[in-house]
Amino acid sequence: MTTTTATTTTSTAVDMSVDLAGRRLPSPMMTASGCAANGRELGRFFDVAELGAFVTKSVMADPRSGRGTPRMAETPSGMLNSIGLQGPGITSFVENDLAWLKKSGARTLVSIAGNTSGEFADVAATLRASDAFDAVVGVEVNISCPNVANRGLVFACDPLASAKVIALVREQLPRDVPIFAKLTPDVTDIVSVAQSCVKAGADGLTMINTLLGMVIDTDLLRPQVAGVTGGLSGPAVRPVAVRAVWQTRAAMLEGRLPFVPIIGVGGVRTGRDALELVAAGASAVQVGTATFNDPSAPVRVGRELAGLLQDKGFERLTDVVGIAHERVAR
């Protein structure tokens, strides 16, 4: 009589760690700037240290009350916001919010903004000098702001203005602290803006910011938000985000742009949504609008993404970054 010994196969967890311009993160998942305040709010629902990085609300040099109300409007498969970069200013931010994030063990990607290129530099300098700066794993430069020195033209719509901001911020930060240029999709050629930013010193790219949109109140027959226009976010913008990431990754593969990490953001609600961005070329993924109805969305999406990769037989997230480019029918 022969006996057989049953063997069991233990599935190995997928390695979800990522290297973002020299900073090793245990997870690709992040919050998106402006959708989770500065940590305390989400900290009531999950440990923010679980994230690859917590992305702060864009902070400027001085406190801002933002735009008048109403500031938000629901749209089909999304929302429009016209908050106006309300915030406490960089001094209060580093003393209170960044200090809290450091105490919580959160790896922090600080989003900075400015009305002028010089203001961006000043904010970066104050950030660098703060006691909690060692909690910062990178700086996201929100160049989707109006440039008051150029008739209010958004920095990210002008390759030269974008490059100037990035160069000035780069001068203020240590070389081992990566900076990510956050790009707007409201341009004809997003790759040309990416090229200017990387040449000026950006270590990576975040794409996309919201799309400029507008909603009319059909009862009152006037704009529904006080600022008239606002930023469109939510599932409706995801195909635009995937396209932008795809085009930028393709430019890298074609040698038109150096290889730098891309952080994908726009309309992510599920692990499958995140997988689209990763397959298009994103090394990390931010979750924003989804947190308004599911505060745990950034960690939930991360678990779903890991499960999908495991089901497909991948051992590492990095094996999937940009994989769709290899599978295009030629």
How many CB atoms within 10 Å of residue 22?
Answer: 13
The answer to whether 190 is a known ligand-binding residue is no
The answer to whether 58 is a known ligand-binding residue is yes
- CA-CA distance, 36 to 57, in Å (whole number)? 7
Which residues does residue 81 pair with via DSSP β-bridges, in sequence order?
Answer: 72, 231
The answer to whether 11 is a known ligand-binding residue is no
The answer to whether 57 is a known ligand-binding residue is yes
- CA-CA distance, 311 to 323, in Å (whole number)? 16
Q: Select which of 35, 145, 157, 197 is catalytic.
A: 145
The answer to whether 22 is a known ligand-binding residue is no
Positive or negative: CA dihedral 160, 166, 169, 171: negative
- CA-CA distance, 280 to 274, in Å (whole number)? 10
The answer to whether 103 is a known ligand-binding residue is no
The answer to whether 216 is a known ligand-binding residue is no
The answer to whether 234 is a known ligand-binding residue is yes
Task: Decide if 35 is catalytic.
Answer: no
Burial label for 107, CB within 10 Å (0-12, 13-18, 19+), is: buried
The answer to whether 84 is a known ligand-binding residue is yes
- CA-CA distance, 106 to 42, in Å (whole number)? 12
What are the binding residues for substrate? 57, 81-85, 142, 209-210
Residues annotated as catalytic are 145
What are the binding residues for FMN? 33, 57-58, 142, 182, 208, 234, 266-267, 288-289
What are the binding residues? 33, 57-58, 81-85, 142, 182, 208-210, 234, 266-267, 288-289
